Amino acid sequence: MDITESILTGVALAMDAFAVSVCFAAAAGGALPVKNSLLIALFFGGFQFLMPVLGYAASEVAYKFIEEYSHWIAFGILLFVGLKMIKEALSKDENKPVSKYADPSDLKLLFMLAVATSIDAFAIGVSIACRNIPIWSPSIIIGITTFLIALFGCFLGTKLEKILKGKAEIFGGVVLLLIAFKVLIEG
């Protein structure tokens, strides 16, 4: 896998992480601190790096599981978080500007979203193993690409919040639901 193929794979894999980063930042309300944007990008980039390595390592056993169930796992996580974001936004306390489902310091939530958006990277690791290509270079490039794209998504999300004026959390939840159903339909 050459550098160009690795970058293009990274860009393709990063699209869900980008969309979630935009929604996450927009739903967080106002300007997202740089440290929170970096944390979000680090989680998404880190998991996009790690999952191909895990897929590569577990290629024989993992392929059948990933093939059959990955879309259901990603669908369930994204559906849960999206519905919770919408529910929280609709019942939001005006004195509490940030929902617990849009809190960028919630490591458990970041973990769940990073896993949900990187399951397809696990399958990429399996396919790289099947091609007998070393895993480290593509995984590093995929991780860095995702990190940069997610960081840009956080920046864009803070700008989007100004346009949506407090409705960003509902918008974010709807986008997560759309991504969930896209994952389910594409299987």
Reference 119, options 75, 178, 57, 182; nearest CA is 75
> What residues make up the domain containing 91?
3-186
Does residue 97 surpass a pLDDT of 60? no
Mean pLDDT of the chain: 79
What pLDDT, in 10s, does the model give residues 130-176? 778 899 999 999 999 999 999 999 888 888 777 766 666 676 677 77
**Eight-class DSSP state of 58:** T
Does residue 93 surpass a pLDDT of 60? no
The two three-digit tokens of residue 55, written as one number: 């897929």
> 31 vs 63, which has greater pLDDT?
31
pTM of this prediction?
Answer: 0.73
User: Under 8 Å CB-to-CB from 59, ≥6 apart: which residues?
Assistant: 125, 126, 129, 130
Domain count for the chain: 1
**Eight-class DSSP state of 83:** H
Q: What is the pLDDT of residue 91?
A: 73
Task: Say what percent of the chain tops pLDDT 90.
Answer: 19
**Eight-class DSSP state of 101:** G
Q: What is the pLDDT of residue 104?
A: 66
Does residue 1 surpass a pLDDT of 60? yes
